[in-house]
Amino acid sequence: MTKKVWGGRFRERINEVVDSFNSSIRYDRRLYTQDIEGSIAHCRMLAKQGIISEEEALLITDGLADIKREMDRGETAFDEDNEDIHTLVENALVDKIGRLGEKIHTGRSRNDQVALDFRMYVREASKKADSLIKGIQQVFVELGEKNFDLIMPGYTHLQPAQPVLLTHHLLAYFEMFKRDRQRFADSSVRINVLPLGSAALGGTTFNIDRRMVAEELDFDTISDNSIDAVSDRDFVLEYLFNSSVLMMHMSRLSEELIIWSSVEFGLVNLPEAFCTGSSIMPQKKNPDVLELVRGKTGRVYGNLMAFLTTMKSLPLAYNKDMQEDKESLFDTADSVEQCLVVMTMLLREISFNAKNMKRACEKGYLMATDLADYLVTKGMTFRKAHEIVGEIVLFAIDKEKGLKELTLKELKGFADQITKDVFDWLEPASALARRVQHGATSPEMVKQALEKAKEEVAS
């Protein structure tokens, strides 16, 4: 068993079961890039401040760079004798350049070191999420352009409500994902704060230059309170929350595509390469990918709630409970990235069933609101018009007819104000054209929204 960096205080060796229980190298090993980059910047600062010599700094930074290359090539054993990635890197450095490697820890603690590594990781994960979200937004723009002329039923309560352009519906998801990108961008301000230099909790006695390290590692600013710096995991919680909202949006999209691809709806065709079959039912084409995205949403929610619960009662400053931050975040980052990649690929391959969409628009009395609006234009109050159209719908249901199939005589039986121009109001295309407010579903407005979306994705 490797000697512990904190072993000087102890007469007895740590129990082997406790050692394994305490170890985090199994999962924090993926922080090796951030740990080495942070150590190199710290080392350069120590040399600049005269705390170590330039010659020592060169040997240390060259050794760290070699270790990074070896880890990139998979040549390093991440064994549990090293309880965490910070210990492993330091021990590897000592093995490579001798006791000089122990100087790398001058002026810092594992508390501010892990806070630095993790902020760098979350910063990179947020940037990757932003890039992947932008990719899925691009697909919505492409689908919107390709299917611009398709009209579909808009739904509330999963019941047919009013006709909308399919592109308008797709751009609703564009807006959801735009807010997701904004959330990750907003959080980056709070992520990009350098904690290094806070040491264990009270700072260090060495004359370090924190701003130099911040500049080297591309941090916008440095933390203002050393106690807060080592005990803060708000940035992790924000990432988990942002990811949970993002996954919720992907889950809603998955649910709609699952419903729309069913035989009962038949509005969308899912690519076979993204579906699976049944072990017993030969006819099945199951939307497993979409169901997995929907299922992983609960997993990401769980990670957020688990870590919120972990943090809720911790006294200042650092506590070992906070080691539980990594597995939750790593699992969330992996899930989010996998789901964004596979969802983007699937969306590029879907197609829409124009005939079924047209047929669906002829059911469910989608034009009822427009008929009420028509009566308002003839001088009737909306409340009265609403009541009369409800009676007309009941009459049509009894006759097993659509609104357009009713005769003028039948319609006039409910309101004398109805004339033959009513039938234009009962056409879905004309209904869309009348909705010309900003953000509405008319072709004119949707075209403007589509152009704006294209510009936002291209910027």
Active site residues per annotation: 157, 278
User: How big is the chain, counted in residues?
Assistant: 459
Residues 267 and 358: beta-carbon distance below 8 Å: no
Contacts of 436 (CB under 8 A, 6+ apart): 442, 444, 445
Q: What distance in Å separates the CA atoms of residue 63 and residue 77, rounded to the nearest whole number?
A: 17
User: In sequence order, what are the beta bridge partners of 351?
Assistant: 269
3-state secondary structure of 283: coil
Which run of H or E residues covers position 159?
A: strand 159-165
Nearest to 166 by CA among 329, 361, 301: 361
Bridge-based pairing of strands 151-156 and 159-165 is antiparallel
The helix or strand, by DSSP H or E, that contains position 264, with its residue range, turns out to be none
Can you read off the two tokens belonging to residue 134? 């932008």
Return the ∠ at Cα 444 (arms to 443 and 449), rounded to 5°: 90
> b/e for 272-288, b at 16 or more Cβ within 10 A?
eebbeeeeeeeeeeebe
Q: How far apart are CA 311 and CA 55, in angstroms?
A: 43
Which residues have CB under 8 Å from 60's CB, separation 6+?
43, 52, 93, 97, 100, 101, 103, 104
Strands 221-222 and 193-194, by their bridges, are: parallel
Strand partners, 268: 352
- CA 177 vs. chain centroid, Å, equals 8
Tokens of 15: 């129990």
Q: Output the CA–CA distances (angstroms, integers) from residue 119 to 122, 239, 297, 354, in the order listed.
A: 5, 11, 24, 48
